[in-house]
C-alpha cells in the first residue's frame, strides 16, 4: 500500500480562526483526503456551511467554496468524526485562566482536556493527535497521560504542529509559510506519526521548509516566536514616547534601525499597541512558565513587553485628553477601526477596546466604525450603550465629531476623502492616527490638528 493513502482522514476539533482556514487549505491542497472540522458551537458550524463565513479573512471564501462538501466537511457530530479520523488536529481555544492558580497568566486548559477525554472515549482505532492550539510546554505529556490511561488498546501518538498564520494574511501564510513545524516523540512510533503529518504539508510546501523537532521544542517555539514579535513592537513603542519628547520621528528611526540586515524592517511599526488573541496570552503564558520554574528575571523581562503595551494604549488616550483641553466629556469621538488589525473581523485584545473604555470613563460620546468588526465590537462594549453608538459608514460616524481616532490600519481609511471628513466635523477638528499611516502634512494643511505616535504633533494652536 503506498504511504500516501494511509492516514487519509483528517479531523480538526475547533472551527475558529485557526482551525477553519488551516483545514480549508489542507482540503484544497490534498484533494484525496477527507477533511472534517467539528465544533461544539452549532452556529459557527452552520456559518462555515453558508455564504456568510463566521470570520472575515481575504481569500478564505474562495478556498472554502472550492472545497466545501467536496473533501471539506463541517459538522457538530464530534464523536462520529473522531471515530472516522486518522489524524486529529486539536484547535480548541486555550484562553488565559481567569480564576484560581495562575489566574491572569497561565493557559486555561479545560477545553483542551475535555477534548482529549472525548477523543479517548470515541476512538476505536489508533490516532495521531496533533496540538494545533498554542499550549504551554509539556502539555503533550499531559495529553498523552490523559489519552493513554483506560484507552482500551488504542494507541495515541501526540504531536505538536503549531500554526503560525497571522490573521488578515492567513491564506497567503498557509499557502506559502516561512516554515511548518512538526514536533514529535523521537521514538519509532513518534517518528512514524511525524512522517504522516509531514506528508500532509509536503503536498504543497517544499520539504526544506518543514522543520521537525522534539515535541517540547515545537511547543516552546510557537510561544517564543510570538514573544519575539511582540517584543519588537513594544521596543519600537517604547521608543515612540522618547521620540515625542525629543523631536525624533519614530518612523524614521524604525527605517534606519530596520535597514540593518541583522534586525530587518518588519514588526517595527509603532502604534496604539498590539492586539490579537495570541501575543498577550502567549507572553503571559511564558511569564507563568518562567515563574513556575523560579526564573524570576526571565519572567519580569517578558512581562515588561505586555506592560509596555498597556502603557501605550493608556498613553494614546492621555494624548487625546491633553490635546482636547483636558476634557472629552460630552464630545463626539469617532473611532475609525475596531478590529485588532486590518483585514480581519477579529477584535480580541484589540487596543480599540481599551481606548473606547477609557474614553467612556471620561464620558465621551464614542462612535465606533469598522468595515467588518461592528458585531464583535458590540459584544466587547456591551453595557456601555449610554456612551457608545455604532456606524458602519465612516462619513456618518465623523459627522459633528470633535475628534477622529484611527485605530485599525484598514486601507479604506487611508483612502477616505479626508477633506469631506474635515468639513463634516465640529471645529477645532482633531485627528489621532493610532497607526501612523495617514498623510499627516496633508491633513494639517486641511486644518486638522494632527497627532500621531512617536512624531511631533502638528497643531494650529502653536
Ligand atoms: C500573530 C503572529 O504574527 C502569528 O505568527 C501567530 O500565529 C499569531 O499571532 P496575529 O495576531 O494574527 O498573528 O497578527 P500580527 O500581524 O502578528 O499583529 C498582531 C498585532 O500587532 C496587531 O494588533 C498589529 O496591528 C500589531 N502590530 C504588528 C504593530 O503594532 N506593529 C507592527 O509592526 C506589527
Ligand atoms: P483560535 O483563534 O485559536 O482558532 P477560536 O476561539 O477562534 O480560537 O476557536 C476555537 C474553537 O474551538 C471555538 O469555535 C470553540 O467553540 C471550539 N471549541 C472549544 N471547546 C471545544 C470542544 N470541547 N469541542 C469542540 N470544539 C470546541
61-76: per-residue pLDDT in tens?
A: 999 999 999 999 999 9
pLDDT digits (tens, 9 = 90+) for 338-360: 999 999 999 999 999 999 999 99
Are both 196 and 317 inside the same structural domain? no
Q: Which of 159, 178, 205 is the last residue of a domain?
A: 205
d(CA 335, CA 81): 43
In a domain, 275, yes or no: no
Minimum-distance ligand 2 atom for the alpha carbon of 17: 4
Are both 171 and 319 inside the same structural domain? no
Bridge partner list, 73: 36
In a domain, 403, yes or no: yes
Instruction: Name the residue at shortest CA distance from atom 13 of ligand 1.
Output: 166
Are both 37 and 161 inside the same structural domain? yes
Are both 314 and 181 inside the same structural domain? no
Residues tagged active-site: 278
pLDDT digits (tens, 9 = 90+) for 169-197: 999 999 999 999 999 999 999 999 999 99
Is the overall model pTM greater than 0.85, yes or no? yes
d(CA 60, CA 163): 16
Contact 150, 120 (CB under 8 A): yes
Angle formed at CA 121 by CA 117 and CA 123, multiple of 5 degrees? 110
Name the residue among 93, 60, 53 with its Cα closest to residue 74: 53
The residue written with cell numbers 530587518 in the block is 264
- The ligand minimizing its distance to the Cα of 258 is 1
What pLDDT does residue 135 have?
81
In a domain, 239, yes or no: no
Judge if the beta carbon of residue 166 lies within 6 A of ligand 1: yes
Q: How far is the CA of 309 from the centre of ligand 1 (A)?
A: 13
How far does Cα 63 stand from its chain's mean position? 20
d(CA 159, CA 127): 11
Q: Which of 160, 188, 205 is the last residue of a domain?
A: 205
3-state secondary structure the chain: CCHHHCCCCEEEECCCCCHHHHHHHHHHHCCCCCEEEECCCHHHHHHHCCCCCCCCCCCHHHHHHHHECCCEEEECCHHHHHHHCCEEEECCCCCECCCCCCCCCCECCHHHHHHHHHHHHHCCCCEEEEECCCCCCCHHHHHHHHHHCCCCCCCEEEEECCCCCCCCCHHHHHHCCCCEEEEECCCHHHHHHHHHHHHHHHCCCCHHHEEEEEHHHHHHHHHHHHHHHHHHHHHHHHHHHHHHHHCCCHHHHHHHHHCCCCCCCCCCCCCCCCCCCCHHHHHHHHHHHHHHCCCHHHHHHHHHHHHHHHHHHHHHHHHHHHHCCCCCCCCEEEEECCCCCCCCCCCCCCHHHHHHHHHHHCCCEEEEECCCCHHHHHHHCCCCCCCEEECCCHHHHHCCCCEEEECCCCHHHHCCCHHHHHHHCCCCCEEEECCCCCCHHHHHHHCCEEECCCCCCECCCC
In a domain, 287, yes or no: no
In a domain, 140, yes or no: yes
pLDDT digits (tens, 9 = 90+) for 217-264: 999 999 999 999 999 999 999 999 999 999 999 999 999 999 999 999
Bridge partner list, 75: 38
pLDDT digits (tens, 9 = 90+) for 74-129: 999 999 999 999 999 999 988 888 899 888 888 888 888 999 999 999 999 999 99
What pLDDT does residue 348 have?
96
Pocket test for ligand 1, best of 237, 341, 437 (most atoms within 8 A of CB): 341
Answer yes or no: is pLDDT of 361 > 70. yes
Q: Report the chain's mean pLDDT, rounded to a whole number.
A: 95
In a domain, 293, yes or no: no
Residues with CB under 6 A from ligand 2: 13-19, 38-41, 44, 78, 91-93, 111, 114-115, 133, 277
d(CA 418, CA 446): 8
What pLDDT does residue 382 have?
97
Residue-range definition of the domain harbouring residue 444: 308-452
Q: How far is the CA of 277 from the centre of ligand 1 (A)?
A: 9
Judge if the beta carbon of residue 223 lies within 6 A of ligand 1: no
What pLDDT does residue 141 have?
86
What pLDDT does residue 143 have?
87
Are both 25 and 170 inside the same structural domain? yes
Instruction: Name the residue at shortest CA distance from atom 1 of ligand 1.
Output: 166
Cell of 272: 496604539
Judge if the beta carbon of residue 276 lies within 6 A of ligand 1: yes
What pLDDT does residue 8 have?
86
What pLDDT does residue 4 have?
46
pLDDT digits (tens, 9 = 90+) for 397-449: 999 999 999 999 999 999 999 999 999 999 999 999 999 999 999 999 999 99
Judge if the beta carbon of residue 269 lies within 6 A of ligand 1: yes
Total domains in the fold of the chain: 2
Answer yes or no: is pLDDT of 5 > 60. no
List the 10-13 sheet strands across, edge first.
72-75, 35-38, 10-13, 87-90, 127-131, 156-160, 180-184, 210-214
pLDDT digits (tens, 9 = 90+) for 297-333: 999 999 999 999 999 999 999 999 999 999 999 999 9
Q: Which of 189, 205, 221 is the last residue of a domain?
A: 205
Axis-axis angle for helices 215-246, 279-292 (nearest 10): 110
Are both 319 and 430 inside the same structural domain? yes
Q: How confident is the model at residue 137 (pLDDT cuts 50, 70, 90)?
A: confident
pLDDT digits (tens, 9 = 90+) for 20-41: 999 999 999 999 999 999 999 9
Judge if the beta carbon of residue 321 lies within 6 A of ligand 1: no
Cell of 35: 477533511
Q: How far is the CA of 237 from the centre of ligand 2 (A)?
A: 32
Pocket test for ligand 1, best of 274, 309, 316, 352 (most atoms within 8 A of CB): 274
Q: How confident is the model at residue 3 (pLDDT cuts 50, 70, 90)?
A: very low
Q: How far is the CA of 91 from the centre of ligand 2 (A)?
A: 6
Q: How far is the CA of 21 from the centre of ligand 1 (A)?
A: 17
d(CA 92, CA 26): 18
In a domain, 437, yes or no: yes
In a domain, 235, yes or no: no
Q: How far is the CA of 230 from the centre of ligand 1 (A)?
A: 8
What pLDDT does residue 82 have?
98
How far does Cα 254 stand from its chain's mean position? 23
Q: How far is the CA of 113 from the centre of ligand 2 (A)?
A: 12
What pLDDT does residue 305 have?
98
Contact 351, 317 (CB under 8 A): no
Q: What is the CATH number of the domain that holds 109?
A: 3.40.50.720
Q: How confident is the model at residue 6 (pLDDT cuts 50, 70, 90)?
A: low
Judge if the beta carbon of residue 454 lies within 6 A of ligand 1: no
Judge if the beta carbon of residue 162 lies within 6 A of ligand 1: no
Contact 337, 352 (CB under 8 A): yes
Amino acid at each position: 500500500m503506498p504511504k500516501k493513502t494511509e492516514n487519509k482522514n483528517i479531523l480538526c476539533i475547533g472551527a475558529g480562526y485557526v482551525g477553519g482556514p488551516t483545514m480549508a487549505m489542507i482540503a484544497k491542497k490534498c484533494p484525496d483526503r477527507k477533511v472534517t472540522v467539528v465544533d461544539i458551537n452549532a452556529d459557527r458550524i452552520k456559518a462555515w456551511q453558508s455564504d456568510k463565513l463566521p470570520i472575515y479573512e481575504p481569500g478564505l471564501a474562495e478556498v472554502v467554496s472550492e472545497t466545501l462538501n467536496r473533501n471539506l466537511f463541517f459538522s457538530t457530530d464530534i464523536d462520529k468524526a473522531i471515530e472516522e479520523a486518522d489524524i486529529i488536529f486539536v484547535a480548541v481555544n486555550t484562553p488565559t485562566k481567569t480564576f484560581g492558580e495562575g489566574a491572569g497568566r497561565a493557559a486555561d486548559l479545560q477545553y483542551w482536556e475535555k477534548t482529549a477525554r472525548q477523543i479517548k472515549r470515541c476512538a476505536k482505532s489508533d490516532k495521531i493527535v496533533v496540538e494545533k492550539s498554542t499550549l504551554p510546554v509539556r502539555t503533550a505529556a499531559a495529553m498523552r497521560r490523559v489519552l493513554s490511561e483506560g484507552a482500551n488498546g488504542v494507541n495515541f501518538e501526540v504531536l505538536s504542529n503549531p500554526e503560525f498564520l497571522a490573521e488578515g494574511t492567513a491564506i497567503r501564510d498557509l499557502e506559502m509559510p516561512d516554515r511548518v513545524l512538526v514536533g514529535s516523540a523521537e521514538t519509532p512510533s513518534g517518528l512514524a506519526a511525524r512522517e504522516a503529518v509531514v506528508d500532509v504539508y509536503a503536498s504543497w510546501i517544499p520539504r526544506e521548509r518543514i522543520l521537525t523537532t522534539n515535541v517540547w521544542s515545537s511547543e516552546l517555539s510557537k510561544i517564543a516566536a510570538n514573544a519575539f514579535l511582540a517584543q519588537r513592537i513594544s521596543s519600537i513603542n517604547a521608543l515612540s514616547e522618547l521620540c515625542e519628547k525629543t523631536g525624533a520621528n519614530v518612523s524614521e528611526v524604525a527605517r534606519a534601525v530596520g535597514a540593518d540586515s541583522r534586525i530587518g524592517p518588519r514588526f517595527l511599526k509603532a502604534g496604539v499597541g498590539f492586539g490579537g488573541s495570541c501575543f498577550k496570552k502567549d507572553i503571559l503564558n511564558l511569564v507563568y512558565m518562567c515563574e513556575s520554574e523560579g526564573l524570576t528575571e526571565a519572567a519580569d523581562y517578558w512581562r515588561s513587553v505586555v506592560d509596555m503595551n498597556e502603557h501605550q494604549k493608556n498613553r494614546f488616550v492621555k494624548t487625546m485628553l491633553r490635546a482636547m483641553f483636558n476634557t472629552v466629556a460630552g464630545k463626539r469621538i469617532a473611532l475609525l477601526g475596531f478590529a485588532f488589525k486590518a483585514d480581519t473581523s477579529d477584535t480580541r485584545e484589540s487596543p480599540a477596546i481599551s481606548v473606547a473604555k477609557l474614553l467612556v470613563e471620561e464620558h465621551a460620546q464614542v462612535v465606533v466604525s469598522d468595515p467588518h468588526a461592528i458585531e464583535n465590537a458590540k459584544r466587547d462594549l456591551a453595557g456601555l450603550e449610554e456612551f457608545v453608538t455604532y456606524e458602519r459608514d465612516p462619513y456618518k460616524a465623523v459627522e459633528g465629531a470633535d475628534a477622529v481616532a484611527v485605530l485599525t490600519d484598514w486601507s479604506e481609511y487611508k483612502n477616505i476623502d479626508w477633506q469631506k471628513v474635515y468639513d463634516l466635523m465640529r471645529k477645532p477638528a482633531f485627528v489621532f492616527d493610532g497607526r501612523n499611516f495617514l498623510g499627516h502634512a496633508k491633513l494639517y494643511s486641511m486644518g486638522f490638528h494632527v497627532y500621531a505616535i512617536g512624531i511631533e504633533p502638528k497643531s494650529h494652536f502653536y
